[in-house]
Chains A and B, each alone.
Chain A
């Protein structure tokens, strides 16, 4: 079966991305009254998501 190039590597990379996002959200959820923690988590998510939205997939796997 001919597999598309980078299928495995992309899958692993995106798993890490999703895990990092969930990690940041789950860390902040119990601390909604602590702006320092929540703002840091939102900022971390924004930075991760900006890279995904930019979509330069070939650079992710270098």
Chain B
């Protein structure tokens, strides 16, 4: 496995496969960062249950836009213009989880609980990665992402604890997002994933990361008194 640390000045000297993979992973990451606000700002910012929740939705969107900015800058520095993801329709996003719209507070909460957590897994892949400028932006981005996960987890637990209709709605949202979350790790036999690891741009196989994620979230779901959804129902990748 490639273990050198590459700086911006070295980029042009790198193997074409490395350059292509780095541009690709930055484009996907930028798309996922800006994809969040595109999912929830329109419906959730005006309708969140309290004024505090509304402000937190706005702050969350601001942080995701800032993550997009940081990734877009890294991409721009190596000649990749990712500004096209700012205006692309949700249905054209790289990752299926971002191809819809969030219209309920339950879905917003579970999105934070499950999908922002995937964001953390994606970012963890870059810890110690071969492209040093990418590793350098991680601490602030990961700290803010952890805040989104905590908020989503707390709100999901609160909604479940209310019982009745609230719990039923949050279970439905969980059923919807759980399989999308598992699919976000990609195919277990992905050739591209192997090449990312070969070049030191990722650390884990898709299957390893998915397995760790399941081990992390399933106990949390059970602690909330919710049912762990069928991991195979509606899955695209395994």
Q: Is the CB of B45 within 8 A of A5?
A: no
Note all chain B residues with C-beta closer than 8 A to A18: 62-63, 65-66, 69
Q: Is the CB of A49 within 8 A of B61?
A: yes
Q: Is the CB of A2 within 8 A of B79?
A: yes
Per-position binary interface string of chain A over residues 27-53, scored 1 when its CB falls under 8 Å from any chain B CB and 0 otherwise: 011001001001101100110011011
Using CB atoms and an 8 Å cutoff, list the residues of chain A in contact with chain B. Answer: 1-7, 10-11, 14-15, 17-18, 21-22, 24-25, 28-29, 32, 35, 38-39, 41-42, 45-46, 49-50, 52-57
Chain B interface mostly helix, strand, loop or mixed? helix
Residues of B within 8 A of A (CB): 8-9, 11-12, 37-38, 41-42, 45-46, 51-52, 54-55, 58-59, 61-63, 65-66, 68-69, 72-73, 75-81, 83, 86-88
Residue in contact with A22 in the complex, picked from B59, B86, B88, CB distance below 8 Å? B59
- Cα of A45 to Cα of B37 in the assembled complex, Å: 12
A21 touching B59, Cβ below 8 Å = yes
What CA separation (Å) do A54 and B59 show in the bound complex?
A: 18
Point out the residues of chain B lying under 8 angstroms from A6, CB to CB.
Answer: 76, 81, 83
Which A residues are CB-close (under 8 A) to B54? 38, 42
CB atoms of B87 and A54 under 8 A apart: yes
Q: Nearest Cβ distance between residue B146 and chain A, in whole angstroms? A: 18
**Interface-central residue, A18, A29, A54, by most chain B CB under 10 Å:** A18
Give CA–CA (A49, B81) in the complex, Å: 21
Q: What are the residues of chain A within 8 A of B77 when measuring CB–CB?
A: 1, 3-4, 7
Contact B76 A14 (CB under 8 A): no
Contacts of B38 in A (CB 8 A): 53
Are B37 and A4 interface neighbours, CB within 8 A? no
Asked if A1 and B12 sit within 8 Å, CB to CB, the answer is: yes
Name the one of A1, A10, A15, A42 contacting B79, with C-beta atoms under 8 angstroms: A1
Per the bound structure, the CA–CA distance linking A57 and B87 in Å amounts to 8
Q: Is the CB of B79 within 8 A of A3?
A: yes
In the bound assembly, the distance between CA atoms of A28 and B66 in angstroms comes to 20
Q: A14-B65, A18-B63 are in contact. List 11 more A-B contacts (CB 8 A).
A: A4-B76, A7-B77, A17-B65, A21-B61, A32-B52, A38-B54, A42-B45, A42-B54, A49-B45, A50-B42, A55-B86
